[in-house]
Structure 1
Amino acid sequence: MNSHVQNTNNPIRTRFAPSPTGFLHIGGARTALFNWLLAKRHGGQFFLRIEDTDRARSTQDAIDAILDGLTWLGLDWDGDVISQFERAGRHAEIAHELLAKGQAFKCYCTPDEVQELRDQAFAEGRALRSPWRDRDASEAPADTPYTVRFRAPDSDMVLEDAVQGSVRWAAKEFDDLILLRSDGTPTYNLAVVVDDHDMGITHIVRGDDHLVNGGRQSQIYDALGWERPVFAHVPLIHGQDGKKLSKRHGDLGAEAYRDMGYLPEGLRNYLLRLGWSHGDQEIFTDEEAIAAFDLAGLNKAPARMDLDKLNHINGHHLAHADDDRLTELVLPFLDTLEDRITDADITRQRLLTAMPVLKTRAATLEELARQSYFLLKIRPFHLEGKAAKPLNDEARQRLYRLFTRLSDLSGWAEESLAEELKQFAETEEVGFGKVGQPLRAALTGGAPAPDLAQVMTFLGREEALDRIKDQMSADA
C-alpha cells in the first residue's frame, strides 16, 4: 500500500470543495473523480462542500449547476451538501481559540498601513509581518477596527505531498495571514482547515494551484495541534499545445460534454487517465478504476487535454453500452435532423434493431444520431447532386430487376440478402459497385450507413422495397 494512502487508523474520508462558478468545469470534475475513487477504493466516504463564502457569486443556480454536473457524471456523495458560509460561526470560534493560545493576534493596521508594510516587505524579499504581532492590544486606539492574523512561524514549512514529494518554504515566504476580516468574517484558509478537520477529512486531492495553500493550511493545523490530512496536489490540465487550459482546448462544463453527446462513463474514463496511470491500460470500467486507483499513480507532469483520445475512449464505452439506454439517449440528438419520421414507435423500433451495429460506428451520441439518419428519413427521397449521381437510367432499370428478385425472397435475413446481392451482380455480369452504388442511394438517400445487407435488414422488407421502388422511376 502506498505510504500516503492513510494517515490515521480511521476510514478514508475525502471531499470535493468547489466554489460555485456556475458550472462544473473539466478540471473540477477530475478533482471530484479522483477523490471519489480514492474513497471508493478503501471503503471510505466522499463528501461535497460548497465554498460559498463569496455571496455575490454563490447563487442557487450556480450551486445547482455543480450538483447537476456531478450527478450526471455519476459521482455520488455521502450525506448532505455542506455550505461553508453556514459554518462561519465555527470558523470564528477557532480563530479566537488561536488568539487565546497566542497563535494569532489582533492587527489594528489601517489598509494604507498594510499596503506600506507589504511594499516594504516585498522590497526586502520577505512576506508581510504585522507590527502588532509583538505589541499589546491595549496600545490600540479606542474603537479601532482590527483583523485577526495568524502568527506565522519563524521556522521553515515542510509539506510531504503525495504527488509533489517534500516541498519546503522558508519562513520568510509566509506572511501573517488574516484569519478574520475586520467585519468578523473568516478567510478561505481558516475556513478550509476548520471544515476539513470537523468533517474528518483524511485525504485532500486537488490541483497544484493550491500547493502554497497546502503549506499555509498545514501551519494552521500544526498551531491547533490537529493532525494534517494527506495532501496530493495534482498538476493542472494543459491544452494540447502545452499552454494553460482554456475553452478552446476543452475547458468546458460537464454539461457541455453531455450536450455534445459524451457518455458519463466515457468522460469518467477519460478524466481518470488525465493525470493518473495504471501501466498502459487505457480503458477502465468503474469497477476496474475503483480497484486500481491509488495516489502512487498520480503523475507529476501536467496532463494534456486530447479530444481525439476522448472520442476514442467514449466510442469504446458507446459500443459497449446497453442498446435500450442508447436508444433513449440519442433521441434528443435526432431533433437536429431534418425531414425525418416523427412516429415515436417506428423511430424506437428501427433504432433498437440497428443499434448493435450503429453504436460501433460512432464516438458520441451526436455522431450516433447522424449514423441513424438513414433509418428515419421521410420517403420518397428527392435526391440531388452527388447523392443522385449513381441513379442514371441504366441503374434505375437494374434497380427494377433487383426489386423483382428481392420481392420473391422468402426470408429477409442479413446473410441471405448479402448472398442475393452478390448473385444478382454476377447475373448482371457487372462489378458489385454497379449494383451497390445505386442501391445505397435508393436505400439511404446519401446518408451514412453500414453494409447494404444490414441496411435492408434494419429497414425491414416493406420499407426497403418501398425505397427501392421509389427510385426505379426517373421521375423520383
Structure 2
Amino acid sequence: MLRFAPSPTGDMHIGNLRVALFNFIVSQQKKEDLIIRIEDTDKERNIEGKDQEILDILALFGITYSQVIYQSENFRFHSAMALQLLHEKKAFSCFCSPEWLEKKREEAKENKEAYRYDDACRDLLAELVIDNLNPFTIRLARPTDTIIIDDLIKGSVSFEPDAVDSFIIMRQDKTPTYNFACAVDDMLSDISLVIRGEDHMSNTPKQDHIRKSLGYEKNVQYAHLPIILNDMGKKMSKRDDASSVKWLLEEGFIPSAISNYLILIGNKPPCEIFDIKDAIKWFNLESISKSPARFSMDLLRHINKEHLKKMDATELSRYVGFADANIGELAKIYLEEASTTKELKSKITPIFAPKEMPEEFKESAKIITKTIKDAPYFEEYDEFKSYVMKTSGLKGKDFFKPLRILLTGAQNGPDIALVYKYLKNYLGEIVK
C-alpha cells in the first residue's frame, strides 16, 4: 500500500504533485493500492475547499486511488496508542511550560549548541504526575540505539538518539503531533513504501521510532525525493509563481506536459517526450538523482509545445474556445510562436474580434471587406486571393496588409495561405 498525504492548507506545490505522480506510478508498477490521506489535523491552517481542490487536481492529472482518508477521523486511534505508550512507560507526561522550553532553547542558542530536551519530566514520581493539575504534553522517550534508514534514493542514513530526542507526540490540547499521527496512520493503512520530499527526512527516524515503540514489526521502505530549485538555485517557495500547480494550469500548461516535466527532471528516461502510461513501463525510483532538480521554465514550455502538437485537434480547439478540428489545426500553426494554451488563445481570439485597422489601410480594408462579403466560396487560397485582388483593384501592401489584419487580427504571423485553409468556412464571421 502506498499513500499520498497532502495538507489542505494552500495551493498544491509542484513538489507535492511530483510526489503524487511518483506514488501513482509505483503503485501501478507494484499493483498495490494508493490511498489519499488528507492531513487536516492543523485546524487553524486548514483552508475550506482545499481538500476538494487537491482531489480535483489529482483527477485532472489522471492520478487514481482506492480511497480518501481524513487524518482527523483517526484521533481516537492516536489517543489510544499514546495511552498505550504511557502505560508501557515508553512515553511520559511533560509539564514543562512553553516559556520554560523557550528559555532552554535560547540558552542553547547562546552556547552555540543544538537544543535537546533535557528529559526533566521523564522520571517524575507517579504521585507527582497524578497530583499535577498543570497542562501537559506527552513525549516519547528518546531511542537508545542508532536508527538506520535505508532510503531507496539517498541510501543508508543513520540518526543518533540525541538527534531524535524525546519529542512530543500529543500536544497540551490532546491532539497528535504531525509525526505521531503520520506514523500511526501509516500503521493503520499498512503502508509498505513512503515516497515523499527530502524535507521530511528528519521526520523519518521519529516515525520509525514511534512504530517500533508500539511493537509494529513491518519494515516500511522510504524514498525521499530531492527538492526542486528555482532559477536562482534556491528552494522553490510560494513566492515562485511556477511553484503552484494551479498557476501553471491557469497559464496554459496542460497536465500531460506538467507530468512529463516533473517525471523527467532528475531522471534518466529513454526519451524526452512521454506520457504517464509510458513512464509506468520504465520508471525506476532508484534511478532518481540524489541532487536537487533545477526548475526550467524554458524546458517546460518546450515540453508543453510538443504535447500540444500531439494533441487531437478538436480537443486543442476547446482550449481556445471552440469545438472544431479546423480551429485546432489552426492553433497548431500558431505553435511556431506560442507554447501554452493561454498564448494560443491570445492568437486565435483576435481573429474573431473586431479589427483595429491602421489609418493608412482603413479605406483599403473597407473595399476588401465588401469584396469578401460579396465573393463566392473558394476552396483554395490562391483562387480567393486572385478574386479579391482583381475585384478590389488593390495590390501590394495596400492589399496584403489589410487582408492579413482582416483575417488574423495581426500585422504579422504565419503564412496567410495556411491560415486561410482552416478559416475559409468562418470568413463571414471573421470579416464583418
Specify the TM-score bucket, using the shorter chain as the normaliser.
Answer: 0.7 to 0.9
Deviations 1:136-156 (A, max 9, x none): 323436143432211111222
- The residue type equivalent to 1:358 in the other structure is A
Q: Alignment partner of 1:204: what SS?
A: strand
In the TM superposition, what is the alpha-carbon distance from 1:212 to its structure 2 partner?
A: 0.5
Distance verdict in 2 for CA 1:229–1:68, change over 3 Å: same
Matching residue of 1:456:
420
Deviations 1:39-91 (A, max 9, x none): 12222221111111111122432323322322333322222x21111211101
Question: 327, 343, 348: which one pairs with 1:367?
Answer: 343
Distance verdict in 2 for CA 1:141–1:358, change over 3 Å: closer
2:105 and 2:430 map into 1 onto residues whose CA distance is 82
In the TM superposition, what is the alpha-carbon distance from 1:121 to its structure 2 partner?
A: 6.2
1:309 aligns with 2:296: no
Q: Give unpaired runs (5+ residues) of structure 1.
A: 1-12, 332-346, 471-476
Distance verdict in 2 for CA 1:125–1:255, change over 3 Å: closer
Matching residue of 1:6:
none
Matching residue of 1:264:
255
Question: Percent same amino acid among aligned pairs?
Answer: 32
1:142 aligns with 2:131: yes
Question: 13, 21, 46: which one pairs with 1:33?
Answer: 21
Matching residue of 1:352:
325
Matching residue of 1:339:
none
1:133 aligns with 2:122: yes
Correspondence list, 1:201-212, <5 A:
201-212=191-202
Correspondence list, 1:148-159, <5 A:
148-159=138-149
Distance verdict in 2 for CA 1:111–1:453, change over 3 Å: closer
**Length, aligned pairs only:** 418
Correspondence list, 1:275-290, <5 A:
275-279=266-270, 281-290=271-280
Matching residue of 1:64:
52
In the TM superposition, what is the alpha-carbon distance from 1:371 to its structure 2 partner?
A: 2.5
Question: 401, 404, 428: which one pairs with 1:440?
Answer: 404
Q: Alignment partner of 1:132: what SS?
A: coil
Distance verdict in 2 for CA 1:465–1:375, change over 3 Å: closer
1:235 aligns with 2:226: yes
1:101 aligns with 2:88: yes
- The residue type equivalent to 1:136 in the other structure is L
- The residue type equivalent to 1:168 in the other structure is S
In the TM superposition, what is the alpha-carbon distance from 1:213 to its structure 2 partner?
A: 0.2
- The residue type equivalent to 2:16 in the other structure is G
Maintained 8 Å contact 2:9/2:50: yes
- The residue type equivalent to 1:266 in the other structure is A
1:242 and 1:328 map into 2 onto residues whose CA distance is 37
Q: Alignment partner of 1:95: what SS?
A: helix
- The residue type equivalent to 2:274 in the other structure is F
Structure 1 length-normalised TM: 0.77
Maintained 8 Å contact 1:95/1:180: yes
Q: Alignment partner of 2:143: what SS?
A: coil
Deviations 1:94-130 (A, max 9, x none): 1222223332223333444444555566646562231
Maintained 8 Å contact 1:84/1:195: yes
Matching residue of 1:225:
215
Maintained 8 Å contact 2:352/2:430: no
Structure 2 length-normalised TM: 0.85
Correspondence list, 1:456-475, <5 A:
456-460=420-424, 463=427, 467=431
Matching residue of 2:39:
51
Matching residue of 1:299:
289
RMSD of the alignment, in Å?
3.3
Question: 176, 186, 190: which one pairs with 2:176?
Answer: 186
Maintained 8 Å contact 1:235/1:300: yes
Maintained 8 Å contact 2:105/2:115: no
In the TM superposition, what is the alpha-carbon distance from 1:35 to its structure 2 partner?
A: 1.0
Deviations 1:297-356 (A, max 9, x none): 22211111211111111111111112222222322xxxxxxxxxxxxxxx65xx531322
In the TM superposition, what is the alpha-carbon distance from 1:373 to its structure 2 partner?
A: 3.1
Distance verdict in 2 for CA 1:271–1:466, change over 3 Å: closer
1:252 and 1:167 map into 2 onto residues whose CA distance is 29
1:192 and 1:174 map into 2 onto residues whose CA distance is 16
Distance verdict in 2 for CA 1:463–1:132, change over 3 Å: closer
1:106 and 1:241 map into 2 onto residues whose CA distance is 46
2:191 and 2:426 map into 1 onto residues whose CA distance is 63
Maintained 8 Å contact 1:105/1:148: yes
Q: Alignment partner of 1:148: what SS?
A: strand
Q: Alignment partner of 1:359: what SS?
A: helix
Q: Alignment partner of 1:48: what SS?
A: strand
1:228 and 1:121 map into 2 onto residues whose CA distance is 35
Distance verdict in 2 for CA 1:323–1:138, change over 3 Å: same
Q: Alignment partner of 1:206: what SS?
A: strand
Matching residue of 1:16:
4
Maintained 8 Å contact 1:417/1:453: no
2:317 and 2:4 map into 1 onto residues whose CA distance is 33
Matching residue of 1:384:
358
Deviations 1:414-457 (A, max 9, x none): 6x659x77xx99xx9x9x98975554244334255432222222
Maintained 8 Å contact 1:107/1:149: yes
Correspondence list, 1:110-129, <5 A:
110-115=97-102, 118=105, 123=111, 125=114, 127-129=116-118
2:96 and 2:406 map into 1 onto residues whose CA distance is 83
Maintained 8 Å contact 1:206/1:232: yes
Distance verdict in 2 for CA 1:310–1:185, change over 3 Å: same
